[in-house]
């Protein structure tokens, strides 16, 4: 098999049957923003804005490097942003502006 | 109508620390969707409350009920979702729940090789190891070795069936009722059913080895 063949044959998120090391029996308490991210996924699904299958595809579309390096809910929120751009529900510059606004709000309060 | 104040309805926050890039993105996406009135201002908080009610304790009760009530068990195995909806458990649209019964001939194990599909309605959010590569990669290839790493040794004459979840189909393992529990109440039985037993990586606990919770 050529070095790139596996990239063609598998989605970046497709793990079944790959070689992997011992189990990592890790668990962590979800951070509040991670729970909110999960709640957002459920609400988007309920409103038929983004369903689970679209989310899964959106995560695969991040590509293998992001799938590997981002944490679980980091992948989710980036995928949601991309899917909402694709659906013309959000515009990239609109999200960038809002993110600046949110960051500014936090830096204002954290100076207190 | 969405006012500025409503758009900022407080939802649990991480505290005073400057949030990460991704946390800021989450807040920004949520607030934009509320401003556009695509989702309600309080909906995320309400959903968080619903999610808090979904814990493995719910799954444990269902398993214990199936152990003591053969008629319930039959219905549960025939149609997991419909049977649990009768108990008032809400499912997301389009997801089916298949209940897999362990016997002295068959041991079931559940995985999601593609992502992290999980019966969240009755077990809550999955543990990290369920979502990580080693479990997802190896459970379908060498389930006995994976089970052994959980301390679960399945005799060679017992078939291991691995079920791979999808966004449409979720699985719950109905573990074998442990021996020596003939006189147990449903509540005592439920205490023997751990989350991991309902994923299939361990068996139900033996009497005297109840969950600490």
The 10 Å CB-count burial string (b at 16+, else e) for A94-105 is: bbeebbeebbee
Instruction: Look at residue B10 in the predicted model and tell me its pLDDT.
Output: 46
Q: Does any domain span residue B22?
A: yes
What mean pLDDT is predicted for residues B31-44? 96
> Which two structure tokens, joined as six digits, stand for B55?
């814990």
Phi, psi of B163 (to 5 degrees): -110, 130
Q: What is the domain range of residue B26? A: 4-51
Spatial separation of the C-alpha atoms in residues B197 and B28, rounded to whole Å? 39
> Which two structure tokens, joined as six digits, stand for B42?
């309080």
Residue A17 has pLDDT above 70, yes or no: yes
Instruction: Look at residue A106 in the predicted model and tell me its pLDDT.
Output: 85
Q: Which of B36, B30, B26, B31 lies closest to B1, judged by CA?
A: B36
Same domain membership, residue B38 and residue B76: no
Same domain membership, residue B117 and residue B35: no
Q: Check if the beta carbon of residue B32 is closer than 8 Å to that of residue A98.
A: yes
Same domain membership, residue B67 and residue B26: no
DSSP letters spanning B139-193 = TTT-HHHHHHHTT----TTSEEEEEE--SSEEEEEEPPPPTT-TT--HHHHHTT-
Instruction: Look at residue A41 in the predicted model and tell me its pLDDT.
Output: 96
Which DSSP helix (H) or strand (E) runs through B111? Answer: strand B106-111
Same domain membership, residue B61 and residue B25: no
Q: Which of B162, B172, B161, B160 lies closest to B96, judged by CA?
A: B172
Q: Which residues of B touch A35 (CB under 8 A)?
A: 12, 48, 51
Q: Does any domain span residue B82?
A: yes
User: For residue B158, what is the domain's CATH number?
Assistant: 3.90.330.10
List B2, B20, B60, B117, catalytic entry: B117
Instruction: Look at residue B145 in the predicted model and tell me its pLDDT.
Output: 96
Residue recorded with tokens 């009755």: B122
Same domain membership, residue B101 and residue B65: yes
Beta bridge partners of B172: B99
Same domain membership, residue B89 and residue B179: yes
Q: Does any domain span residue B209?
A: no
Phi, psi of B97 (to 5 degrees): -115, 120
Q: Does any domain span residue B212?
A: no
Chain B CB within 8 Å of residue A29 CB: no
Same domain membership, residue B130 and residue B41: no
* Comparison of pLDDT for B13 and A110, the residue scoring more: A110
Instruction: Look at residue B3 in the predicted model and tell me its pLDDT.
Output: 39
Chain segment B87-101, per-residue pLDDT in tens: 999 887 678 999 999
Chain B CB within 8 Å of residue A83 CB: no
- Percentage of residues in chain A having pLDDT higher than 90: 64
> What domains can you pick out in chain A, each with its CATH number?
30-110 (1.10.472.20)
Q: Check if the beta carbon of residue B72 is closer than 8 Å to that of residue B56.
A: no
pTM of the predicted structure, to 2 decimals: 0.84
Residues comprising chain A, all counted: 112
- Percentage of residues in chain A having pLDDT higher than 70: 96
**Which of A:53-82 have CB within 8 Å of B?**
53, 56, 59, 70-74, 77-78, 80-81
Asked if A99's CB is within 8 angstroms of B47's CB, the reply is: no
Chain segment B53-89, per-residue pLDDT in tens: 999 999 999 999 999 999 999 999 999 999 999 999 9
CA distance A13 to chain B (A): 6
ipTM (interface pTM): 0.89
Chain A CB within 8 Å of residue B169 CB: no
Q: Which of B170, B176, B166 lies closest to B202, judged by CA?
A: B176
């Amino acid at each position: 098999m050529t070095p790139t063949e596996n990239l063609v044959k598998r989605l970046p998120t497709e793990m079944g049957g790959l070689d992997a090391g011992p189990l990592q029996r890790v668990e962590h308490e979800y951070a509040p923003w991670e729970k909110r991210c999960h709640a957002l996924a459920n609400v988007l699904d309920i409103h038929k804005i983004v369903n689970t299958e679209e989310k899964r595809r959106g995560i695969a579309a991040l590509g293998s490097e992001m799938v590997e390096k981002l944490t679980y809910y980091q992948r989710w929120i980036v995928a949601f942003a991309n899917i909402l751009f694709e659906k013309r529900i959000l515009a990239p510059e609109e999200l960038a502006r809002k993110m600046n606004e949110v960051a500014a709000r936090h830096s204002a309060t954290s100076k207190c | 109508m969405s006012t500025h104040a409503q758009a900022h309805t407080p939802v649990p926050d991480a505290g005073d620390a400057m949030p990460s890039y991704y946390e800021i993105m989450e807040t920004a996406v949520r607030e934009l969707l509320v401003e556009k009135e695509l989702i309600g201002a309080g909906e995320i908080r309400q959903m968080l409350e619903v999610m808090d009610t979904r814990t493995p304790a719910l799954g444990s009760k269902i398993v214990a009920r199936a152990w003591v009530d053969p008629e319930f068990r039959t219905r549960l195995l025939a149609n997991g979702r419909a049977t649990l909806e009768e108990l008032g458990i809400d499912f997301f649209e389009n997801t089916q729940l298949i209940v897999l019964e362990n016997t002295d001939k068959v041991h079931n194990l559940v995985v999601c090789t593609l992502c992290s599909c999980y019966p969240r309605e009755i077990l809550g959010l999955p543990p990290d190891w369920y979502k990580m590569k080693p479990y997802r990669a190896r459970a379908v290839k060498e389930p006995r070795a994976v089970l052994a790493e959980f301390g679960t040794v399945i005799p060679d004459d017992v078939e291991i069936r691995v079920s791979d979840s999808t966004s449409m189909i979720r699985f719950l393992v109905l573990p074998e009722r442990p021996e020596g529990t003939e006189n147990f109440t449903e509540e005592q039985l439920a205490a023997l059913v751990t989350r991991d037993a309902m994923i299939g990586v361990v068996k139900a606990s033996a009497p005297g080895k109840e969950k600490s919770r």
